[in-house]
Amino acid sequence: MTLPPLLDTRSLRDVERRGAELVAPGSLMDRAGLAVARAASAMAPDTGAPILVVAGPGNNGGDAWVAAAELQDRFHRVIVHDAAGTAPRAPEARAAAARFLAAGGRTVPEWPRSLAPGLVVDGLFGIGLARDLEGAHAALVRRINAARCAVLSIDIPSGLDSDTGRVRGIAVRATRTLTFIARKPGLHTGDAPDHAGEIALDTLGLPDSLFAGARGSLLVPEALAGWLPRRPRNSHKGSFGTVAIVGGTAGMTGAALLAGRASLLAGAGKTFVCVPGGPGLGVDPLHPELMLRTVEDALSADVVVAGPGGGAGEAFTRHALPSIVALPRPVVLDADALNALAANDVLKAQVATGRSAPTILTPHPAEAARLLGSSTASVQDDRLAAALALASRFRAEVVLKGAGSVCASPDGTWAINATGNPGLASGGTGDVLAGLVGALLAQGLAAPAALRYAVCLHGAAADACVARGDGPIGLTASEVALEARRLLNRWT
C-alpha cells in the first residue's frame, strides 16, 4: 500500500476539474450527495427524530440539497435549513431542491426553537472558505455544536480551513466527516482532530491516476509495511549501526537517557550517550546496554542525535554542537540543539549550506518559531507552510511536532501523521522520538523514510498504550518507547 495522498485546495481544484471531464456533467455533485445520503441514513437514529440538513451557498450546499432529496426518497423525515436564502447555484442542486419541495419537503430559513434533530448534516461551508465565520453563520455553527446529536460534515467541518486545519473563528465539531475525491491536510493537523471526528473518504469513482505526483501524503501504519526490512539471520551488532546521543547535562540527564533507551529499543546495534563535560552516571541502571561515553566518542558514530537535555552551556553549544554539525554523517538536531541553532547565525549557515550528509530537525512549534524568527501563533496558523519553510531554509528533513505532526522535505514533498494522541503531551516523548529517528537512520533507512517511519511509529505506540488503558492521562515517555519496540517488530 502506498501512502494515501493529501491535496491542498489548489491541487484539489485541479483534480476536480480534470475528473469532471471524465464523467457526465454534474455527476460529481450527484455522486457526492448520494454518498452523503448513504452516510446520513446509517447515522440517523431510530427514534423518528428528523434529520436537519444545513445547506449553504456553495457546492457544499449543493451536495446537501442532493442528499436531502435522496434521504426523503428513502422515507426519512428531513428538514432543510436553507442558510443561503437563494436558489442553489449548480443545476443539479436546483433540480434536487425542486424534487425535494415537490415531494412535500420542508425548508426553514432559521433553526426552529422547538427542533430537536436526531442528526445534523453540515453542508454550510466547504473547502472554499477564505474568511472567519461571524454573525449569523457563527451563530448557526454554535447551534449545530449545541444540538446534542450526531453531526455529519460534508467534505470538511464548516469553519475549518482545509489547507491548515485552523479554525476560522468557529467551526463545527463533527461526529463524522465524509470527505470527497482526496483527503485534505486541514482534516489531519492543528485544530482538525478536535473537529473532524471520524474521517471517511469517497473518491467519487475518480481514477487513482489523477492523484499521481501529489506532493503530500498521510502517514498511516498500514502503508509502512516493508519500509524496514526483516533482519537476516547472518547479522551482528555492527549491521545495525551506532547511534550517539549528545546531551544530558546536569539536571537533564533523563532526556539523553530516554533518547538512548529509545534508540536501543528501536534496534540500533550500539548506542552511546555522550554528556558534554563528562557523564554524571557510570551506568544506566535500567539499561546497562547503553554505553556512557564522551562527546569525542560521538564523532565516530554512524548517526548523531544532538540536543536532548543539551542545555545552554558552552560545553554543548560552543564546543560539541559545531563539531557535530561538521560531521559527514547523518545528524538529528533536537531540543537544545535547535535553540542553539536559532541563536547562532554561523551555525545556521553551517547547517544550511555546509553539510553534505542528511540533517533532520525535530522542532515543536515554539522551537520552529525561533528558527523562523516568527511567533508560535503564526507557526500554528499554517503548520504545513512552517515545516516546508524550515526544510527549504536548512536543506533538512523536518518534523513539526504537534497534533498531526508535519514532515517536510527540501524538495517540497510533505506528509502529515495520522497517529498519536494527547498522551504524547508530556515531558520526554520528544526525546524518545529523536532516539527512534536515530535508530532507524542507523539501520539504513534514508532520512525522509526514517523520519516518517519514526513519527508514525511514535504516535502509533502512544495509541496502543491508550487502547489498553495506559493513558492518555499519565502516559510516560518510557512506556511509549517500550510499546514502539513491540509495534516495530510487528510491522517488520
pLDDT tens per residue, range 315-329 = 999 999 999 999 999
DSSP 336-355: HHHHHHHT-HHHHHHHHHS-
Q: Containing H/E element for 12? A: helix 9-20
Confirm if 127 and 184 have CB atoms less than 8 A apart: yes
Spatial distance between the Cα atoms of 27 and 5, rounded to a whole number of angstroms: 23
pLDDT for res 410? 98
The answer, yes or no, to whether residue 12 has pLDDT greater than 90, is yes
The answer, yes or no, to whether residue 38 has pLDDT greater than 70, is yes
pLDDT for res 133? 97
Beta-carbon contacts of residue 135 (< 8 Å; ≥ 6 apart): none
Q: What percent of the chain has pLDDT over 70?
A: 100
pLDDT for res 112? 86
Q: What is the mean pLDDT of residues 405-423?
A: 98
pLDDT tens per residue, range 339-377 = 999 999 999 999 999 999 999 999 999 999 999 999 999
Q: Rounded to an integer, what is the distance from CA 188 to the centroid of its chain?
A: 5
Q: Pick the range with the lowest mean pLDDT from 85-99, 230-244, 259-273, 438-452.
A: 85-99
Under the banding of pLDDT at 50, 70 and 90, the label for residue 281 is confident
Show me where the domains of the chain are located: 5-214, 223-491
The answer, yes or no, to whether residue 445 has pLDDT greater than 70, is yes
CATH of domain 223-491: 3.40.1190.20
Backbone angles phi, psi at 100, to 5 degrees: -65, -45
The answer, yes or no, to whether residue 384 has pLDDT greater than 90, is yes
pLDDT tens per residue, range 172-216 = 999 999 999 999 999 999 999 999 999 999 999 999 999 999 999
Give the pTM. Answer: 0.96
Nearest to 120 by CA among 203, 45, 33, 28: 45
Confirm if 409 and 448 have CB atoms less than 8 A apart: yes
Matching CATH number, 5-214, of 1.10.287.130, 3.30.2310.20, 3.40.50.10260, 3.50.7.10: 3.40.50.10260
The answer, yes or no, to whether residue 446 has pLDDT greater than 70, is yes
CA dihedral 311, 312, 313, 317 (to 10 degrees): 100
Spatial distance between the Cα atoms of 86 and 107, rounded to a whole number of angstroms: 12
pLDDT tens per residue, range 100-155 = 999 999 999 999 888 999 999 999 999 989 899 999 999 999 999 999 999 999 99
Q: Containing H/E element for 65? A: helix 59-73
pLDDT for res 280? 67
Nearest to 311 by CA among 330, 289, 295: 295
pLDDT for res 47? 87
Query: What average pLDDT does the chain have?
Result: 96
pLDDT tens per residue, range 468-485 = 999 999 999 999 999 999
Q: What is the mean pLDDT of residues 294-299?
A: 93
pLDDT for res 131? 93
Q: What is the mean pLDDT of residues 433-444?
A: 98
| Cell 547547517 found at | 351
Q: Containing H/E element for 436? A: helix 429-442
The answer, yes or no, to whether residue 407 has pLDDT greater than 70, is yes
The answer, yes or no, to whether residue 64 has pLDDT greater than 90, is yes
pLDDT for res 25? 87
The answer, yes or no, to whether residue 279 has pLDDT greater than 70, is no
Strands 406-408 and 303-306: unpaired
